[in-house]
Amino acid sequence: MVPQAPRVALEGLNSPWQIAFLPDDSGETGNRSALITSRDTGVVYRADVPLEASEAASLSDFAQVPDVYHGGEGGLLGLALAPGFYDSPRAYVYRSAQSGNQLLTTTDFKDFEVLVGDIPRGRIHNGGRLAWGLDDSVYVGTGDAGQAENAQNPKSWGGKILRVAIDPNTGKPQPVEIYSSGHRNAQGIAFTASNQMWATELGPDRNDELQRIVKGGNYGWPAVTGYDTTTLDGVTTRPAQHVWESTADASPSGLAIFQNTAFVASLRGQRLWIVSLPQGSSDAEELAPGPLPQLDPQEFQGSRLRDVAVTPDGQQLWIITDEGESSKLLVCDLG
């Protein structure tokens, strides 16, 4: 699936980081709407993009998350909205604070409660991506914070994908679970329609990765990267399913999946990669490592891309660029 060429919907976003769509109410407003975090300012934007491409989109400040510590790759990062947000609003945000990275929850974007603290923070590799699963859980990608040993340390939240199960009645979390480990800096998390998780991973100086994530999987960092595996504590690590050998080609960030097609936003590579995922596979099946079929359309080259998301109606991709105070929101039809 190749989306149509993107158009610039909005300009002047400051260091946008993650897109979280509001429930689709386009039948009433004529817009598609989303909240977007700003890493460097701690602001949550609201973006409203009309269904008619000829009409102007609008951007406004929706909220200010307090006590955000911006330095290097840290700041206000991930954002996820619980299902039924309009009827029972609950959101989850990931911020860097003085004491470390934190997962917060809020019902009004004024008062915030820390659900998970003590996630290692560093100038680099703060992770931060949030994704809502079909199992009433928030999944949290964390980085090793520049300390590679965190990824294999079961007592550290760093270098992991965490699962935080949420009681749908109270919004309160269950004990945090280390869902997978051995990650250097998981930057994208997305699910197929059957709730199979995939993630993007930044390599050191080579071997950027697209990984299928399974519960309890160890993805090898810092011992191995890419398609290689090793044995740690008697368990074989899991290989990536698809690898970009040169980080100049990818340095992947956000990830979206639609109809077994993965859309991978790339920073250093300044492009959107389009990768075909294996169809009909289940978590119980072992998938042979790639490379998987991929496309590199010229229309999606030329800007550092931070995140990509599919609108709730499945009609468009939204893409945010990473160009400091002059960042953009790009919109393209899926057709």
pLDDT, tens digit, for every residue of 141-156?
Answer: 999 999 999 999 999 9
* pLDDT number for residue 28: 63
Give the residue-averaged pLDDT of 92-101: 97
* pLDDT number for residue 26: 54
Please tell me the pTM assigned to this model: 0.96
- Residue 29 gets which letter from DSSP? H
pLDDT tens sequence across 224-282? 999 999 999 999 999 999 999 999 999 999 999 999 999 999 999 999 999 999 987 77
* pLDDT number for residue 169: 75
- Architecture in CATH of 7-333: 6 Propeller (2.120)
Handedness of CA 301, 302, 308, 312 (dihedral sign): negative
Q: Is the pLDDT of residue 48 over 70?
A: yes
Q: Where does the pLDDT of residue 172 fall: very low under 50, low under 70, confident under 90, or very high at 90 and above?
A: confident
Q: Is the pLDDT of residue 330 over 60?
A: yes
Q: Is the pLDDT of residue 130 over 80?
A: yes
* pLDDT number for residue 284: 67
Mean pLDDT, all residues of the chain: 94
Strands 43-50 and 31-38: antiparallel
Which single residue is written with the structure tokens 């955000």?
A: 68
Q: 13: part of which helix (H) or strand (E)?
A: strand 7-13
Q: Is the pLDDT of residue 74 over 60?
A: yes
Give the domain ranges of the chain: 7-333
* pLDDT number for residue 122: 96
Q: Which residues contact 221 (CB under 8 A, 6 or more apart)?
A: 144, 148, 151, 152, 159, 182, 183, 184, 201
Give the residue-averaged pLDDT of 32-56: 95
Q: Where does the pLDDT of residue 173 fall: very low under 50, low under 70, confident under 90, or very high at 90 and above?
A: confident
Q: Is the pLDDT of residue 25 over 80?
A: no
* pLDDT number for residue 227: 97
